[in-house]
Structure 1
Amino acid sequence: MHARAALQLLAAANLAAASLPIIDAIAQVQPVTTSTTLQAYYYAPPNSSTSRLGPATTVAPPRTLTYTQTDYTPNPTVFATACAEISSAYSSRLAVYSSQIASGVDATYPTRVPVRPREAWDCLYSIPLDVDLTLDFISGVAKYLQFQSTIEYLKNPPANSLQDPVDIIGSLENLADQVRSGEIAHHIRFENAFRKLLQRCHDGHLGLVFNSASLISFRGPFTLISISPDAIEKPKVYVEKDLMEFELEASYITRIDGYEVEAWLAEFADYGSSQSPDARYNAIFANRDPGSDGTFYTLYGWYPGKNTISITFSNSSTYQYDYRAYARWNNALNWTGIRTGSDFYRNIVLNPAYFQVASSDQQAVAGTPDPSPTDGENVYHVHDKPRVKKRQMRTGVATTSTRPTATPTPRLPQLVYFNYPFMTHRVGPYVQDLNGIVGGYFLNDTIGTAVLDISSFAAADDDAEFQLQGFQAALTAFFAEARRLGSKKLILDVRGNGGGLVALGFELYKQLFPAAPANSYYRIRAHEAAQIFATAAEALATDKNTDALVELLETVGINNIDGDALDVALAIASGFSRQNTFDVNGKKPEDLATFIGPYNLTGLVNDTVSLLVENNLGFPLSDADISGFGSRANFTSSPQPFRKEDILLLSDGTCASTCTIFSELLKREQANVSSVVMGGRPNDSPSAHVGGTHGSRVLTFANLLSNSRRVVSLYPPETDEQEQYLIDNIPLALPFGFTYAAINFRDAIRPEDETETPLQFALEPADCRLYFSPIGFTDSVYLWGELSELKWGTNSNFAGCAVGGLQKGEGSTGYVPDDPETVEIVNYILQPLTPS
């Protein structure tokens, strides 16, 4: 059947439909047709002949209603001039820089200038609220959030998941009511309320960062750390600089803003992105491996409500410390031309120019991480996004001008470095990959312990190349050296690992267990828009077209396809195609209906989902093969470098995304792999070793909009009914700009779990829990040595575990406790504005 005819039949059955014309805010392609119905959904990119506001919309003047907030009520007279003052400071700083350059001084281009927190908030508070556009944003963003895999589970989270109920769509409707009624009368109040709604879901794959965060950021006065004297006794909270200078003689913190320190921190941590409360607690503090400042310093980007914070120490002294704020800028978003809140609204809030061009489908074939926000936790991660070389855009589809007849031999750089500094360790590793993703060490102990330090499954550089090849080569060299040295024990350090490329997680697992299967099953929500996208993907990636693509890839390679072949590849890579998946029996789903269903869930939730599938790791949508697949299929006969009983997994609970896929393979397939978790709340109870999002793929809003664009371009609607159906369901361009926005697309599911509960809601305790001691915090090499002795030797300075044990590598039988009851405190950083 012709693809368009198939779509029309599905539309008649109210399952899916052809698509409608939309304006692409990324590629600036023209609409297929002109429709007055679509005018309300049309938001043009900058430099377009059409107003950013679309027809019949205007920017509302600044409201002067007074709202109260703890300690500070913005004064309309003051906040009306705040943006101008900041803009002047910005211009002055640039003038100094220009003068230095003109004088021959070697100056660094400034990207931020300090301002007072209250002045920064006054500027943000002066941004006017456009009711119509805000309501358009709410209705439009709901179509993106419908792809969030856990949206129904969040309404009624499983018992013992430690997740409070969150009705995302219902909360959006409440926000809309507050906007209509005038209860929310300032744009920044809307932004904050929306961000807090998503943060309450505790999903590192779910989030949206508005453009305003690119111009103003808030900071705490210093970094904190949580330290135990011996890794077993409950820790105290210190100013990091104090502990580094005076060690345990330093006074620790007892109260913050008059509240007991742990009560204040419990409230503050609740806005973290990890699902485990212990992981959220850890994220407050500075970390040395990997390096991070912690959310007490980054403040999640929130305005702290005042200029100072009060800290009381164990010696009974109390000091007032200054919060900090910075005016920031970059090439896409800056302070040029901003004098008022209305200027800020027009130039920044409505500016879509920073809308993740890099993560749309010109990079949809091989896998590189999306740019992540600089503030707060490392919460956004990337999976399975195949990548092609950068090409010119042709109606929203990447292409090349010529088609080679054979695959050129790639010129690989040096993939592996030896004894080169890795991260912040004082000792260079034996081996690391060219992108610094993994570092391999050998300890000078009698046990013969090797260590792999993997703080991410993706390079820090967004433009890094040869990530899989370098990672693969470094692991191969490391395990070869381990065999040569006779190393029998292995520590896998995944502290702070927020995920990255799925291929790297599978690569590490297959190099550890070459002959073992690597099964990781998932499903997606099969709501209306997902069915539309799946139908379009099937129309492009038919069995015949897919077979032709595979044959072509064997000839020219993934980086050298264009035209129809590229369209097919992008459809397969989108996540809505069955062509690169296997069911639980190892077979490709036979047709679209088998794959997308929809299948009804009627247990804990009422929802429709797809078939339970896993990635076909041998499908050639990559420029390199994972060990055990494709050209490296013979790797399965390689020797296993370590017995599973001789492997120890070290985490701080923030393991997320690809890290959870890898950890799940270890714990499910290799039951005797022991685990240690560091830090967490000072309650001496079991703590989850994997506490970040267990979702197995993230999709950015740009990815989803690209799917809408592809459907629109290839299958324009032929009736008003089809057009309206698509308007009501598929994601369209949004009126407000943002630097990042994403949902969790896939739920990781254990096929043996009869309840089919997403692993996001399963918090499983580590075998052993320890707190950070001073030297364990500052020196990872020391920590590794002590853990090696604790697990396999007799000379550890650790008397044991704070909770659990490592004697036999058995799983803890404890449970992850709920938060202890804490006093209700007014949190200056998180307190919402309320009407006076």
Structure 2
Amino acid sequence: MRARAALQLLSAANFVAAISFLPVAAFAQADTTTAVPIQAFYSAPPNSSTSGTTYSRDVNINATTRAGTVTAPRTLTYTQTEYTPNPTAFRTACAEISSSYASRLSVYSSRVATDPDTIYPTRVPVRPREAWDCLYSIPLDRDLTLEFISGVAKYLQFQSTIEYLKNPPANSLQDPIDIIGSLEKLADQVRSGEIAHHIRFENAFRKLLQRCHDGHLGFTFNSASLVTFRGPFSLISISPDAVEKPKVYVETDLMENGLNASYITRIDGYEVEAWLAEFADFGSSQSPDARYNAVFANRDPGSDGTFYSLYGWYPGKNTISLTYANASTHEYDYRAYARWNSALNWTGIRTGSDFYQKVVLNPAYFQVSSSDEEGVVEAAPAPEPTSNENVYHVHDKKKVRKRQMRTGIATTTTSTRPSPTSTIPQLVYFNYPYMQHRVGPYVQDLNGIIGGYFLNDTLDTAVLDISSFSADDDDAEFQLAGFQAALSTFFAEARRRGSKKLILDVRGNGGGLVALGFELYKQLFPSAPAHSFYRIRAHEAAEIFATAAEQIASDKATEELVELIESVGIENVDGDAYPEALEVALAISSGFSRQNTLDVDGKKPEDLETFIGPYNVSGLVNDTVSLLVETDLNFPLQETDVSGFGTRANFTSTPQPFKKEDILFLSDGTCASTCTIFAELLKREQANISTVVMGGRPNDGPSAHVGGTHGSRVLTYANLLRNSRRVVSLFPPETDEQEQYLINNIPLALPFGFLYGAINFRDAIRPEDETATPLQFALEPADCRLYFSPIGFTDSVYLWGELSKLKWGTGSSFEGCAVGGLQKGEGSTGFVPDDPETVEIVNYILQPLRSP
């Protein structure tokens, strides 16, 4: 039964009459979600369980040099080191941790009597093996686990790349992965007893998703709230001159001793680059160089790196061994912490069974708010800017430290700032005294999303430092308004100063609000078109949601909503005053409606069949998809219009602030999500803007400047479950057959609690690409690749200045690029060397992590 026919059998009652969400038995499970840890980095090869067994194989290791690629045979030896707790240890571990937790809190509780401002700690250090013992003691409920696997597959069917991942394009550097097939194998392992511990199941499922290298696709179990694992310190990868291949250092060693510090040659007996390349393979970026960069600490933006964070996994033992160039070998302790917060804590947890009941099954973290519905559910009294999509695009939901302020002397010129009113706060800080730096006036929006610099001593170069397209604070307001105002202030100041060159620094930019990416592009190129095309998978559940959206947000209902917005303002369209209008707005912003989309000819799809299709993808994959469309940025479902659209349509006559040949795009390859949308706008509409990528694997090959997820919209599991509930409440099934049809196809509540879960909903597509391959699988190398030198790592102002001189002037300390080159005073030629053959350095070392 096809989706539209099925929904037509459902109640056709006016959705206004059914506006209250009615409970349905199939949806009565508690709202739940998911969490993380742990798996040994080392484990036995498949079908092996003998501790201490040594395995060997002969492999060829390809080394790429400037003279070409040489192949040297080498024998790699691997010894199983995974730790399996004995029953006595893991039966008492949770009680020991709980006691440590209670003891630590009692100390702070006694202080509250004399100091009411006492801040409780959020973690207690424990031994890594003790933490793993506790997690290992969590029992596995076979029936609930199989229910989870069956249920989560209904969410994963919305993953836009699911069919492409089975047989990815050869140049994508993506290993093949059958998500649904792997889930079925995982279910078989649970049924057979091969997976007999709940934490083993969590790790296997999480690793399955990580193998897709898609920052929009992920799942985090509740376990991560109570147990985290950490490395002993952070590492950094440093070249002496930004051109020579880098060495790996302990961060504190290099900071204290400079290049006199001894670099690392081996980790646990394996060559350092080999160990790190395999460790990095679980990163979320599509580019292996971007994943490699993520291993290391970064000063701009601030990050400790995944060698320190360990992806939250148990490292398999308590210590790690590092061998240095001076031939010394040292053993360092891994770390683990028992954590807690207002929703989950260790109180009453004495056994693994307690942990299972109080944590694994706890739905406390289910996300009540939906990024889809932000800005239209309950509008704020003051303008609260959102994107037209009302959705966040993030590479990784984990917080990172904000970019650190540049150190130096505070500026003393007069501050020119907009005056705040009673309803609108100060949106821009311009040359504000608390911002300590040495490079002249500094412009920043109120949420600290971007910073604008002027390098007065370097060819009149301006810099936009864009570490994200959203605020760190999830509750931040005025994001688009502040971003928009800060850009306008910055470009006005650039014109006043006569600045002719611009560096766009997007290092570490994992995405954010789509509207901010469009805003930056339109302020850079006011009169240029801004097209970004996408499509979704048109499977059964997507068709159900699209059909429901069509019935709710019909052409007539949408026209009435637009008239209402124009008469009362979007900020006044809230659920209490206009419940019918609110429901239409939610349907339009859900992603399953054609009402705010345009086809490649710039027209709204005329009906549901035209929009959702489904259309067969020809030649490459066996899949059905929607029509190729883009977002109509003139649609009024937002509180602040993007420049060049809607109420700001006249912005197109604004002078362009910089010539495109005078713009340099700087990245570390981790540019993802909204950042890739912005980068694609530059590439498609403004060809030949020069690009530089920093860091990556020490192979002297070209590297992608845009290497994160290229998906153009993320949907959380909360979004999808809310769509299911809306369908059932507004169009309740009238027969058992209809109810079973919905149960079999649409996402339902899951049995395990989780912190966060999401899929990539939309593929970004170039309409001129005859194969219509998602951009997720396109890795295009930068014009110039450089490594981090010590000063380039610690001082972004220095890095910007040297890049400016390399591109537009003389006297740069960089003799050239490690790979490729920049055309003096011109745009990119668009030519870079082909990506060298991908080499498996030591896939054997951690091969078990590649399979569930």
TM-score w.r.t. the length of structure 2 is: 0.86
Q: Which residue of 2 aligns with 1:815?
A: 834
Alpha-carbon distance in 1 for matches of 2:371, 2:523: 31
SS in 2 for 1:237: strand
Q: Which residue of 2 aligns with 1:142?
A: 153
Alpha-carbon distance in 2 for matches of 1:243, 1:825: 31
Q: Which deviates more, 324-333 or 136-145? A: 324-333
Q: Does the 8 A contact of 1:667 with 1:673 survive in 2?
A: yes
The reply on whether 1:75 has 2:94 as its aligned counterpart is no
SS in 2 for 1:495: coil
Matches within 5 A, 1:313-462: 313-359=324-370, 363=374, 365=376, 366=386, 367=390, 369=392, 411-420=423-432, 430-462=442-474
Alpha-carbon distance in 2 for matches of 1:755, 1:423: 49
Matches within 5 A, 1:199-238: 199-238=210-249
SS in 1 for 2:682: helix
Q: Which residue of 2 aligns with 1:478?
A: 490
Q: Which residue of 1 aligns with 2:29?
A: 43
Alpha-carbon distance in 1 for matches of 2:642, 2:128: 49
Q: Residue 163 of structure 2 is aligned with which of 144, 149, 152?
A: 152
**RMSD in angstroms over aligned alpha carbons?**
2.4
Alpha-carbon distance in 2 for matches of 1:570, 1:530: 16
Alpha-carbon distance in 2 for matches of 1:411, 1:624: 15
The reply on whether 1:300 has 2:314 as its aligned counterpart is no
- Provide closer, same or farther for how the CA distance between residues 278 and 306 of structure 1 changes in structure 2, counting only shifts above 3 A: same
Gaps of 5+ in 2: 13-18, 33-48, 52-79, 377-385, 402-420
SS in 2 for 1:582: strand
Q: Does the 8 A contact of 1:371 with 1:462 survive in 2?
A: no
Alpha-carbon distance in 1 for matches of 2:469, 2:302: 15
The reply on whether 1:664 has 2:675 as its aligned counterpart is no
Q: Which residue of 2 aligns with 1:566?
A: 582
Q: Which residue of 1 aligns with 2:412?
A: none
Q: Does the 8 A contact of 1:578 with 1:595 survive in 2?
A: yes
Question: Residue deviations 1:596-615, cap 9 Å, x none?
Answer: 00001131101000000000
Q: Does the 8 A contact of 2:460 with 2:501 survive in 1?
A: yes
Q: Which deviates more, 803-812 or 208-217? A: 803-812
Q: Which residue of 1 aligns with 2:546?
A: 534
Alpha-carbon distance in 1 for matches of 2:233, 2:140: 34
Deviation at 1:819, TM superposition (A): 3.3
Q: Does the 8 A contact of 2:399 with 2:472 survive in 1?
A: no
Alpha-carbon distance in 1 for matches of 2:814, 2:135: 50
Q: Does the 8 A contact of 1:10 with 1:16 survive in 2?
A: no
Alpha-carbon distance in 2 for matches of 1:715, 1:624: 33
Q: Residue 723 of structure 1 is aligned with which of 721, 739, 744?
A: 739
Alpha-carbon distance in 2 for matches of 1:252, 1:645: 39
Alpha-carbon distance in 1 for matches of 2:527, 2:203: 50
Aligned length: 764
- Provide closer, same or farther for how the CA distance between residues 339 and 300 of structure 1 changes in structure 2, counting only shifts above 3 A: same
Question: Residue deviations 1:543-570, cap 9 Å, x none?
Answer: 0000000010112222322200000000
Q: Does the 8 A contact of 1:523 with 1:748 survive in 2?
A: yes
Deviation at 1:13, TM superposition (A): 4.4
Q: Which residue of 2 aligns with 1:654?
A: 670
The reply on whether 1:592 has 2:611 as its aligned counterpart is no
- Provide closer, same or farther for how the CA distance between residues 373 and 188 of structure 1 changes in structure 2, counting only shifts above 3 A: farther
- Provide closer, same or farther for how the CA distance between residues 374 and 573 of structure 1 changes in structure 2, counting only shifts above 3 A: closer
- Provide closer, same or farther for how the CA distance between residues 421 and 319 of structure 1 changes in structure 2, counting only shifts above 3 A: farther
Matches within 5 A, 1:188-199: 188-199=199-210
- Provide closer, same or farther for how the CA distance between residues 631 and 328 of structure 1 changes in structure 2, counting only shifts above 3 A: same
Alpha-carbon distance in 2 for matches of 1:114, 1:159: 45
Partner letter of residue 769 of structure 1? R
Deviation at 1:820, TM superposition (A): 2.2
- Provide closer, same or farther for how the CA distance between residues 158 and 444 of structure 1 changes in structure 2, counting only shifts above 3 A: same
Alpha-carbon distance in 2 for matches of 1:799, 1:354: 52
Deviation at 1:106, TM superposition (A): 4.9
Partner letter of residue 501 of structure 1? L
Q: Does the 8 A contact of 2:532 with 2:677 survive in 1?
A: yes
Q: Which residue of 2 aligns with 1:752?
A: 768
SS in 2 for 1:441: strand
Q: Which residue of 2 aligns with 1:610?
A: 626
Alpha-carbon distance in 1 for matches of 2:468, 2:186: 36
Alpha-carbon distance in 2 for matches of 1:95, 1:220: 28
Deviation at 1:426, TM superposition (A): 6.5
Partner letter of residue 731 of structure 1? P
Alpha-carbon distance in 2 for matches of 1:620, 1:218: 46
Alpha-carbon distance in 1 for matches of 2:394, 2:673: 16
Alpha-carbon distance in 1 for matches of 2:367, 2:394: 8
Question: Residue deviations 1:21-40, cap 9 Å, x none?
Answer: xxxxxx997624x5xxx4xx
Q: Does the 8 A contact of 1:254 with 1:260 survive in 2?
A: yes
Question: Residue deviations 1:466-492, cap 9 Å, x none?
Answer: 000000000000000000000000000
Q: Which residue of 2 aligns with 1:6?
A: none
Question: Residue deviations 1:127-148, cap 9 Å, x none?
Answer: 0000000000000000000000
The reply on whether 1:506 has 2:518 as its aligned counterpart is yes
Question: Residue deviations 1:372-398, cap 9 Å, x none?
Answer: 9776989xxxxxxxxxxxxxxxxxxxx
Alpha-carbon distance in 1 for matches of 2:571, 2:752: 34
Question: Residue deviations 1:126-182, cap 9 Å, x none?
Answer: 000000000000000000000000000000001110000000000000000000000
Deviation at 1:333, TM superposition (A): 1.3
Question: Residue deviations 1:333-369, cap 9 Å, x none?
Answer: 1112111111110111111110111336652643464
Q: Residue 275 of structure 1 is aligned with which of 286, 294, 309?
A: 286
Question: Residue deviations 1:37-86, cap 9 Å, x none?
Answer: x4xx752359xxxxxxxxxxxxxxxxxxx996725220111101111111
Q: Does the 8 A contact of 1:360 with 1:702 survive in 2?
A: no
SS in 2 for 1:789: helix
Q: Does the 8 A contact of 1:418 with 1:430 survive in 2?
A: yes
Q: Which residue of 1 aligns with 2:73?
A: none
Q: Which residue of 2 aligns with 1:31?
A: 23
Alpha-carbon distance in 2 for matches of 1:42, 1:572: 26
- Provide closer, same or farther for how the CA distance between residues 103 and 370 of structure 1 changes in structure 2, counting only shifts above 3 A: farther
Alpha-carbon distance in 2 for matches of 1:825, 1:376: 32
Matches within 5 A, 1:3-152: 13=5, 18=10, 31-32=23-24, 34=25, 38=26, 42-44=28-30, 70-104=81-115, 106-152=117-163
Question: Residue deviations 1:723-763, cap 9 Å, x none?
Answer: 11111110000000110000000000000000000000000
Alpha-carbon distance in 1 for matches of 2:783, 2:682: 14
Alpha-carbon distance in 1 for matches of 2:122, 2:8: 47
- Provide closer, same or farther for how the CA distance between residues 316 and 89 of structure 1 changes in structure 2, counting only shifts above 3 A: same
- Provide closer, same or farther for how the CA distance between residues 429 and 252 of structure 1 changes in structure 2, counting only shifts above 3 A: farther
Alpha-carbon distance in 2 for matches of 1:549, 1:436: 34
- Provide closer, same or farther for how the CA distance between residues 376 and 413 of structure 1 changes in structure 2, counting only shifts above 3 A: closer
Q: Residue 676 of structure 1 is aligned with which of 688, 692, 697?
A: 692
Q: Does the 8 A contact of 1:259 with 1:825 survive in 2?
A: no
Question: Residue deviations 1:107-137, cap 9 Å, x none?
Answer: 3221111110000000100000000000000
- Provide closer, same or farther for how the CA distance between residues 214 and 452 of structure 1 changes in structure 2, counting only shifts above 3 A: same
Partner letter of residue 430 of structure 2? F
Alpha-carbon distance in 1 for matches of 2:550, 2:467: 37
Partner letter of residue 44 of structure 1? A
Q: Which residue of 2 aligns with 1:385?
A: none
Partner letter of residue 31 of structure 1? P
- Provide closer, same or farther for how the CA distance between residues 530 and 429 of structure 1 changes in structure 2, counting only shifts above 3 A: farther
Alpha-carbon distance in 1 for matches of 2:179, 2:636: 37
Q: Which deviates more, 350-359 or 711-720? A: 350-359
